[in-house]
Chains A and B, each alone.
Chain A
Amino acid sequence: MSQIERHSYDVIVIGAGGAGLRAAIEARSRGLRTAIVCKSLFGKAHTVMAEGGIAAAMGNVNSNDNWQVHFRDTMRGGKFLNNYRMAELHAKEAPQRVWELETYGALFDRTKDGKISQRNFGGHEYPRLAHVGDRTGLELIRTLQQKVVSLQQEDFAATGDYESHLKVFAECSITDLLLDEASGAPRIAGAFGYWRETGEFIVFEAPAVILATGGIGKSFKVTSNSWEYTGDGHALAARSGSRLINMEFVQFHPTGMVWPPSVKGILVTESVRGDGGVLTNSEGRRFMFDYIPDVFKKQYATTEEEADRWYTDPDNNKRPPELLPRDEVARAINSEVKAGRGSPHGGVFLDVSKRLPAETIKAKLPSMYHQFKELAGVDITAEPMEVGPTCHYVMGGVEVDPDSTAAVGVAGLFAAGEVAGGMHGSNRLGGNSLSDLLVFGHRAGLGAADYLQGIAGSRPSVTPQMVATAEQTALQPFHNEGGENPYTIHAELQQTMNDLVGIIRNGAELAEAIARLDSFKERVRAVKVTGGRAFNPGWHLALDLPNLLLVSEALARAALMREESRGGHTRDDFPGMDNQWRQVNLVCRAEGDGIAVEKQPIPVIPSELLGLFEVSELEKYFTSAELAGLSTGGAQ
């Protein structure tokens, strides 16, 4: 044990996507010695997959846009289950966070007057997404990566060492958070992990940890997420005594590729629809007009003629229903396929070829053109794509204080980005993820800096016992006898989640899922790996399995308890939205070897924010008792 590599930092950021890098930049800028620890190479994080853009009410394309409108859209999209304070901070701060990227060297697409261009997206009232073609995530990750490098260059000039204040530990996985519980309440003392390359262990001593680990998509079979999305941060937080909220809400992106089988689930950007693409079924019908829910009737066109006019005259026409929030579109596609009106490979058609000239498609959607051409042999400038829902994003995550991102229940633990819960309520709007990463990544860096100032001299310590336990857990899969191969267990877990906790759920199937997940516990404990410790993907997966299982159970249990349908949670045995349930968050805690779920009232939205909506709209979501105190509405 004495040979284990040890490092001491002020803050450890776990994850190097948008949230992690933004947090690290802020922490380092506040003078904290900061380590970024990430499972992949630096610059490869899942953020690169984001295509459409960053939502920020800059008003560059439509000057009517402002933070209040963005806030309203976000709350509507989340069906008013969002943590209002997070949605408020997000809408207010997103423009500054985007402008700041330009000072780091980002090059967004421009408007005619030279400002950052903004595009339309589902659920956003005005063109709001800052973008670079359809590779905005790549631009974001590269910009932040290069900002990290520029800070390292400053440190080199000052100290002669690039890594004196900000160091990236790439291809390094954290398996445990180390907790100091001497004073009774848990507080962060550090983190334990392994180098993927060598399999050697590494210990970080640090009073603050920022989780920025992304989501849980790899618990599902059909997903747009990469191997990294194994719910690590969710599980680390829960096992440390923190809590997860909104875990029942999973976003199935309406448009993933459906063919060929090996690429099933890969994302087809919403920009295809924002730029004019329409969805049709096997009968050639634009079926989205049949699926406009009452709560959205006022904002969406009901005829093809009006919808088509909107692309050129958005001020005087309502938007096409293809641009409804993602949960609505995903359910509609699911229903069409179930009704036998699907495409040959079990999706529906998404066609932009008849709407835009080939050159425009190639300019606006270059990576989609490329992706379909190379992976499916489909030329999207000449023929329709086949698309269907794919697991894309988890709204649920660590319960945090909105202003500081401090995780509830564990001192010194912070969470930002997809791993944090609350911001998006029951459904996230496209484009609100990249802005979420920036706004709350920045706040997490600040939160950690404030926390360090507060504890001043009393740093927690890592004990040999903590390290020994973590080491033993990590090596167990090599010692197990007779267990199964991790790939088999993972594939079956994914199939179970896809079949029983997918886009349309019911009580019986969820109960069945929970029973099956229970039987996975012993299998995961007994998992057997072969080979050595150096870059052994089998071992890596074996260590991810407990995390996948924990988040899967949280998801299934919360989904069983919530007896209504809302956003990314659809129960066919409780098909309606229930205003009583809007007042409740479901909170998951680790208990024994499982998950316990309980109800918790959601924070009450202050009347000045409720005043941004018309009462007639609020009545669709709130109980009359809740609205009784509200004098007048319709500030607009």
Chain B
Amino acid sequence: MTYTAKFRVWRGDDTGGGLVDFAVEVNEGEVVLDIIHRLQATQAPDLAVRWNCKAGKCGSCSAEVNGLPRLMCMTRMNTFAEDEVVTVTPLRTFPVIRDLVTNVSFNYIKARQIPAFAPPAGVAPGDYRMQQVDVQRSQEFRKCIECFLCQNTCHVIRDHEENKEAFAGPRMFIRLAELDMHPLDSKDRKVEAQEDHGLGMCNITKCCTEVCPEHIKITDNAIIPMKERVVDVKYDPLRWLGSKIGKRPGL
């Protein structure tokens, strides 16, 4: 069961770096993060990596394994051939800090720009009433573990630094969708998604959905419904007229 694997790990910092080769022991049932930890313990004690729960629940150990955005703790070694070189590199969309650790502050800044849940007026704590079928839609998006793999893979910003200013990214779109579909949120989120967070820049290639370790249907269940309703609100002439004469503010 035990064999020696060939690992190639990116090492360096914001001034530069490159791939470093390692030969390292692998045991039955192990995941890529185990191997990175073995490298730390035996060959490279200062190898920088983020991790916490090691069970796919915290979203800390995001990296690119053989070019694919993955959680290292959920990538089993038996998905690779024993003689295959396993290449581990940091997330490409965010600036490198050191080795496999990147600066993900972009995501926290964007999160801060989304207005928070707006509680319904006049409903006291303890009096919130919602049906399971209604909360379920938002609950899907609240499964998000903020691993930022969707943000990393999204081609709108992956190789286009210039788009980062205007584009909040898939993680933030599911946050907006979650609030929009929250049965008791008292704000309208659709126009805001389009005008302030760059929803229109997404051309639904579904790359984000493919890499989501929580299997959230980001494109189908969040982005597309939001886009459809934006069209409804912004471009339907009757609704436009309604909103202008004050009969139907927002939606």
A, B in one complex: yes
Knowing A99-B126, A107-B142 touch, does A146 contact B60 (C-beta < 8 A)? no
Task: Enumerate chain A residues within 8 angstroms of B97, measured Cβ to Cβ.
Answer: 197, 534-535
Contact between chains at B45 and A260 (CB < 8 Å): no
Give A612 to B199 CA distance when docked, in angstroms. Answer: 58
Contact between chains at A95 and B126 (CB < 8 Å): yes
Contact with A along B136-157 (1 / 0, CB 8 A): 0011001111100000000000
Query: Which of B57, B129, B179 lies in contact with A114, CB distance below 8 A?
Result: B129
Contact between chains at B116 and A153 (CB < 8 Å): yes
Give A44 to B130 CA distance when docked, in angstroms. Answer: 28
Contact between chains at B55 and A375 (CB < 8 Å): yes
Among the stretches B23-31, B160-168, B218-226, B232-240, the one at the interface with A is B23-31
Contact between chains at A110 and B60 (CB < 8 Å): no
Among the stretches B81-89, B104-112, B201-209, the one at the interface with A is B104-112
Contact with B along A193-237 (1 / 0, CB 8 A): 000010000000000000000000000000000111000000000
Query: Which of B47, B60, B143 lies in contact with A44, CB distance below 8 A?
Result: B60
Query: Which of B27, B30, B55 lies in contact with A49, CB distance below 8 A?
Result: B55
* Residue of B whose beta carbon sits closest to that of A117: B132
- Residues of A467-500 at the interface with B, using a CB-CB cut-off of 8 Å, are 485-488, 491
Q: Is B249 interfacial (CB-CB < 8 Å)?
A: no
Tally chain A residues at the interface, Cβ within 8 Å: 72
Give A15 to B34 CA distance when docked, in angstroms. Answer: 26
Q: Is B49 interfacial (CB-CB < 8 Å)?
A: yes
Q: Is A509 interfacial (CB-CB < 8 Å)?
A: no
Give A189 to B93 CA distance when docked, in angstroms. Answer: 41
Contact between chains at B130 and A261 (CB < 8 Å): no
Q: A103-B125, A260-B28, A263-B54 are in contact. List 18 more A-B contacts (CB 8 A).
A: A44-B146, A48-B57, A107-B135, A107-B138, A107-B139, A110-B132, A132-B139, A142-B144, A152-B112, A197-B97, A227-B51, A228-B52, A261-B28, A487-B40, A529-B46, A537-B45, A537-B46, A539-B46
Number of A-B contacts (CB under 8 A): 175
Give A44 to B146 CA distance when docked, in angstroms. Answer: 9
Contact between chains at A374 and B116 (CB < 8 Å): no
- Residues of A31-48 at the interface with B, using a CB-CB cut-off of 8 Å, are 40-44, 46, 48
Contact between chains at A149 and B58 (CB < 8 Å): no
Query: Which of A100, A104, A534 lies in contact with B117, CB distance below 8 A?
Result: A104
- Residues of A361-395 at the interface with B, using a CB-CB cut-off of 8 Å, are 366-367, 370-371, 374-376
Query: Which of B34, B104, B179, B185 lies in contact with A41, CB distance below 8 A?
Result: B104
Task: Enumerate chain A residues within 8 angstroms of B46, measured Cβ to Cβ.
Answer: 529-532, 536-539
Q: Which residues of A contact B (CB under 8 A)?
A: 40-44, 46, 48-49, 58, 95-96, 99-100, 102-105, 107-110, 113-115, 117, 132-133, 135, 138-139, 142, 146-147, 149-150, 152-153, 156, 162, 197, 226-228, 259-263, 266-267, 366-367, 370-371, 374-376, 485-488, 491, 529-532, 534-539
Knowing A95-B126, A114-B129 touch, does A46 contact B52 (C-beta < 8 A)? yes
Contact between chains at B49 and A537 (CB < 8 Å): yes
CB distance from B101 to the nearest CB of A (A): 5
- Residues of B57-85 at the interface with A, using a CB-CB cut-off of 8 Å, are 57-60, 74, 76
Give A514 to B139 CA distance when docked, in angstroms. Answer: 48
Contact with A along B168-196 (1 / 0, CB 8 A): 00000000000100100100000000000
Tally chain B residues at the interface, Cβ within 8 Å: 57
Contact between chains at A538 and B45 (CB < 8 Å): yes
Contact between chains at A146 and B117 (CB < 8 Å): yes
Residue from A46, A104, A147, A263 with most neighbouring chain B CB atoms (10 Å): A263
Knowing A41-B60, A42-B108 touch, does A266 contact B54 (C-beta < 8 A)? yes
CB distance from B241 to the nearest CB of A (A): 32
Task: Enumerate chain A residues within 8 angstroms of B98, measured Cβ to Cβ.
Answer: 197, 534-535
CB distance from A583 to the nearest CB of B (A): 39
Residue from A115, A197, A260 with most neighbouring chain B CB atoms (10 Å): A260
Contact with A along B107-127 (1 / 0, CB 8 A): 010011001110100000110
Contact between chains at A226 and B54 (CB < 8 Å): yes
Task: Enumerate chain B residues within 8 angstroms of A370, measured Cβ to Cβ.
Answer: 56
CB distance from A448 to the nearest CB of B (A): 23
CB distance from A428 to the nearest CB of B (A): 20
Task: Enumerate chain B residues within 8 angstroms of A197, measured Cβ to Cβ.
Answer: 97-98, 101
Q: Is B19 interfacial (CB-CB < 8 Å)?
A: no
Query: Which of A48, A109, A133 lies in contact with B145, CB distance below 8 A?
Result: A48
